[in-house]
Amino acid sequence: MNFRGPFRVRASEKPDPVILHPEDAIIKVTKSCICGSDLHLYHGEVPDTRVGTTFGHEFMGEVVDIGSGVHKLKVGDTVLVPFNIACGKCAFCKQELYGNCHESNPQASAVGGIFGYSHTAGGFDGGQAEYVRVPYADVGPTVIPEGMDPEDALLLTDVVPTGYQAAEMGGIKKGDTVVVFGAGPVGIMAAKCAWLFGAARVIVIDHLEYRLEFVRNYANCEAYNFESLGDPVLFLKKTTDWFGADVCIDAVGGDAAGSALQTITGRKLLLQAGSATALHWAINSVKKGGIVSVVGVYGPTDNLIPIGNVVNKGITIRANQASVKRLLPRLIDHVMAGRLDPKAMITHRIPLEEVADAYHIFSAKLDNCIKPILIMPSAR
Ligand SMILES: NC(=O)c1ccc[n+]([C@@H]2O[C@H](COP(=O)([O-])OP(=O)(O)OC[C@H]3O[C@@H](n4cnc5c(N)ncnc54)[C@H](O)[C@@H]3O)[C@@H](O)[C@H]2O)c1
Ligand SMILES: [Zn+2]
Ligand SMILES: [Zn+2]
Ligand approaching nearest to the C-alpha of 128: 2
Ligand approaching nearest to the C-alpha of 106: 3
Q: Using an 8 Å Cβ cutoff, are 38 and 361 in contact?
A: no
Q: Give Cβ neighbours of residue 338 (< 8 Å, ≥ 6 apart).
A: none
Residue 159 CA: nearest ligand 1 atom is 6
Q: Using an 8 Å Cβ cutoff, are 60 and 31 in contact?
A: yes
Residue 109 has pLDDT above 90, yes or no: no
179 by DSSP, 3-state: which?
strand
Ligand approaching nearest to the C-alpha of 321: 1
Distance from the CA of 33 to the center of ligand 2, in angstroms? 8
Residue 208 CA: nearest ligand 1 atom is 37
| Type of residue at 311 | V
Give per-residue pLDDT as tens, 216-275. Answer: 999 999 999 999 999 999 999 999 999 999 999 999 999 999 999 999 999 899 899 999
Q: How do 222-225 and 201-206 pair as beta strands? A: parallel
Q: Whose CA is nearest to atom 21 of ligand 1?
A: 184
pLDDT band at 110 (very low <50, low <70, confident <90, very high): confident
Residue 300 has pLDDT above 90, yes or no: no
What's the rounded mean pLDDT across residues 126-146? 98
What CA–CA distance (Å, rounded) separates 232 from 230?
A: 6
Residue 305 has pLDDT above 90, yes or no: yes
CA 125 to chain centre: 17
For the Cβ of 11 lying below 6 angstroms from any atom of ligand 1, the answer is no
In this prediction, what percent of the chain has a pLDDT beyond 70? 100
For the Cβ of 275 lying below 6 angstroms from any atom of ligand 1, the answer is no
Distance from the CA of 132 to the center of ligand 3, in angstroms? 20
Candidate from 250, 252, 284, 359 with most ligand 1 atoms within 8 A of CB, to mutate: 252
CA 134 to chain centre: 19
pLDDT of residue 112: 94
Mean model confidence pLDDT for the chain: 97
Distance from the CA of 111 to the center of ligand 3, in angstroms? 11
What CA–CA distance (Å, rounded) separates 27 from 137?
A: 10
pLDDT of residue 185: 98
What CA–CA distance (Å, rounded) separates 373 from 159?
A: 13
In 3D space, the residue among 202, 151, 168 whose CA is nearest the CA of residue 347 turns out to be: 151
DSSP per-residue letters across 102-145: SSSSTT-SS--EETTSTGGGT----SSSSEEEESSTTTS-EEPP
Alpha-carbon torsion 356, 190, 320, 134, what sign?
Answer: negative
- Cα distances (Å, whole numbers) of residue 323 to 13, 96, 342: 32, 7, 18
- Cα distances (Å, whole numbers) of residue 365 to 20, 184, 276, 313, 361: 38, 10, 20, 36, 6
For the Cβ of 126 lying below 6 angstroms from any atom of ligand 1, the answer is no
DSSP annotation of 16: P
pLDDT of residue 301: 83
What is the Cβ-side half-sphere exposure of residue 324, based on CA atoms within 13 angstroms? Answer: 24
Give per-residue pLDDT as tens, 49-89. Answer: 999 999 999 999 999 999 999 999 999 999 999 999 999 99
Phi, psi (rounded to 5 degrees) for 238: -55, -45
For the Cβ of 258 lying below 6 angstroms from any atom of ligand 1, the answer is yes
DSSP annotation of 24: -
Ligand approaching nearest to the C-alpha of 211: 1
pLDDT of residue 75: 98
- Cα distances (Å, whole numbers) of residue 239 to 128, 178, 184, 236: 43, 12, 23, 5
pLDDT of residue 108: 83
What's the rounded mean pLDDT across residues 143-160? 97
Q: Give Cβ neighbours of residue 116 (< 8 Å, ≥ 6 apart).
A: 38, 53, 54, 55, 56, 57, 124, 125, 126, 127, 128
Give per-residue pLDDT as tens, 4-33. Answer: 999 999 999 999 999 999 999 999 999 999
